């Protein structure tokens, strides 16, 4: 059946899964691959963790200018995949697609986000329960809608672990955007009004690609720079390697229970 033309191409969703290019055209399943996988945006934290645990490289995520090893860690007696996450919605969806083709089935990501609330100090943890879809990639995976909801079961797993460890957190919506240089005051005010406490570039695409592929996905966001005041405040979040390492260790612990 022909797709009806819409006013904007981004709204012309096609449910047909028979795309010309599919991950399995290029990627072979990895024998015995860990089903649980962490996607982490913090390269230095990954290096630290890998240096501490028995591991092997079981595959790679490769694109123009990228070659991210997929590590298989022996982490507290269980096999867990660990890979560097790429920045932006297209890479987020592509990694879910290709890692799923390799054989991974349960994903959790950890990364930084911009804070839209003054109360979110650097390093404060956020569990996204939904994402405002202000990016383009997710519209190719699930029907057009203003928001996409997170996997409720994985949200409960994450929340349970944070409660058990007595780690403060916020459970709220996030705003996923393609254009970080276009986060204007009025846009920020609108997103805050609809309940977003953070802004980042991947969450809605991660969620949509996971739903499309029938795999589990959850995410932990760390508060980084701030867009909550009259001016942008970087808050030197990129120097906080302690926060990044803590977030990855926590994410690995949660991944064990997914």
* Res 114: pLDDT: 97
Please state the domain extents for the chain. 32-256
CATH architecture of the region 32-256: 3-Layer(aba) Sandwich (3.40)
Can you give the pLDDT of all 258 residues of the chain as single tens digits? 688 999 999 999 999 999 999 998 889 899 999 999 999 999 999 999 999 999 999 999 988 888 999 999 999 999 999 999 999 999 999 999 999 999 999 999 999 999 999 999 999 999 999 999 999 999 999 999 999 999 999 999 999 999 999 999 999 999 999 999 999 999 999 999 999 999 999 999 999 999 999 999 999 999 999 999 999 999 988 778 899 999 999 999 999 999
* Res 1: pLDDT: 66
CA angle 165, 152, 243 (to 5 degrees): 40
* Res 64: pLDDT: 81
* Res 62: pLDDT: 86
Which residues pair with residue 56 across a beta bridge? 72
What are the distances in angstroms from CA 61 to CA 87, 103, 141? 13, 13, 20
Which of 47, 64, 252, 98 has its CA nearest to residue 165? Answer: 252
Mode of pairing for the β-strands spanning 106-115 and 216-226: parallel
CA dist 174 and 177 (Å) reads 10
CA dist 241 and 258 (Å) reads 26
């Amino acid at each position: 059946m022909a797709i009806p033309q819409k006013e904007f191409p981004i709204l012309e969703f096609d449910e047909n899964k028979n795309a010309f290019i599919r991950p399995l055209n290029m990627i072979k399943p990895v024998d015995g691959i860990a089903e649980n996988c962490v996607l982490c945006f913090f390269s230095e934290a990954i290096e630290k963790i890998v240096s501490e645990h028995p591991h092997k490289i079981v595959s790679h995520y490769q694109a123009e200018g990228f070659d991210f090893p997929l590590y298989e860690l022996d982490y507290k007696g269980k096999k867990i995949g660990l890979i560097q996450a790429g920045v932006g919605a297209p890479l987020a969806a592509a990694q879910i697609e290709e890692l799923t083709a390799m054989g991974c089935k349960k994903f959790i990501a950890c990364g930084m986000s911009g804070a839209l609330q003054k109360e979110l100090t650097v390093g404060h943890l956020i569990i996204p329960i939904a994402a405002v879809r202000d990016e383009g990639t997710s519209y190719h995976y699930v029907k057009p809608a203003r928001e996409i909801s997170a996997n409720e079961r994985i949200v409960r797993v994450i929340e349970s672990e944070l409660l058990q460890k007595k780690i403060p957190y916020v459970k709220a919506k996030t705003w996923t955007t393609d254009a970080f240089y276009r986060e204007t005051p009025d846009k920020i005010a609108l997103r805050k009004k609809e309940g977003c406490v953070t802004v980042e570039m991947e969450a809605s695409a991660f969620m949509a690609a996971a739903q499309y592929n029938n795999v589990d996905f959850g995410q932990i966001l760390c508060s980084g720079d701030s867009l909550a005041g009259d001016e942008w405040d970087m808050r030197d979040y990129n120097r906080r390697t302690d926060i990044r390492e803590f977030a990855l260790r926590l994410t690995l612990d949660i991944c064990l229970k997914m």
